Structure 1
């Protein structure tokens, strides 16, 4: 199974790219993690709906290789680390590549959200998109650590 983070946005700061690369390197071989940048639509006088529709088209082109879609959204399910690990474990058992979509500053097209297998949020706080990429990379690695009973994740 492959995992991917599809992030609508521009190249993140070097410290974010290095952090994501570190967690990607730590993932087990059989559970590769890719971080794929999707170009945001140029704003130039377009409505929010037009921007999101153009970004949706770009996302769908990449999503063809990922039958399971998880959208990150501020109104998504608020999962604990353990709950996130349990979901990931179920997805691993059923198979199929999984893509996590982080939308642009304007969010994610509503029809794409409707197609999602799950909608989750990383935090009740507002996170910059680059930081959300890094947090999601870390949480995916942490979830795998929980599943494999690796000491990276410590519970009380």
Structure 2
């Protein structure tokens, strides 16, 4: 199994880069993980709903064009299913046993396009809260690492 994180947005604050890289390094012995930053469509201050829809579509096309055959696409969205860390660990075991490569898609500031939502095998919510887009990267990689630490009997996760 390999995990690719596709995310819209390329210029992250240093605290995001530092937080993400810490967990990214930790997870590599457990599972090959890759972060792919895709460009965010340029936005203006007074965009119309049609403009926002166009931005989402453009960003969605870049996500879908990055997919490889036989990858399972999971869309990260506030309205998706919620998983406990233990359930995520179990799900990741299933992906590993199936040899399934996973793509986790994080949308831009206006979310994911309808095309990405429809292409996704399922939708995952990290929280019912609306989270800052850059923070999602850190929270996601930390939870993936935590789940893998459970699966490998590593002491990081203490229930």
Is this a same-fold pair by TM over 0.5?
A: yes
Q: How does 1:5-84 map to 2 (within 5 A)?
A: 5-29=5-29, 31-44=31-44, 45=47, 47-64=51-68, 67-84=71-88
Check the 8 A contact 1:4/1:98 in 2, yes or no. Answer: yes
Once the two structures are superposed, the pairs formed by residues 114-125 of structure 1 within 5 Å of their partners are: 114-125=118-129
What is the CA–CA distance in structure 1 between the aligned matches of 2:11 and 2:99, rounded to whole Å? 30
Give 1:89-100 correspondences, 5 Å limit: 89-100=93-104
Q: CA deviation at 1:48?
A: 2.3
Q: Alignment partner for residue 106 of structure 1, among 101, 105, 110?
A: 110
Paired residues in the alignment total 155
Question: How large is the Cα RMSD of the aligned pairs?
Answer: 1.6
Instruction: Deviation per CA, 1:65-88: give whole Å up to 9, x if none.
Output: 661111100100011111111111
Aligned residue for 1:25, secondary structure, equals helix
| TM, length-normalised to structure 2 | 0.90
What runs of 5+ residues in structure 2 fail to find an aligned partner? none
- Could you tell me how far apart the structure 2 residues matched to 1:147 and 1:23 are? 16
Deviations 1:92-129 (A, max 9, x none): 11113211111011110112111111211111111111
Q: With the length of structure 1 as denominator, give the TM-score of the two structures.
A: 0.91
- 1:65–1:97 contact (8 Å) kept in structure 2: no
User: Which residue does 1:144 correspond to in 2?
Assistant: 148
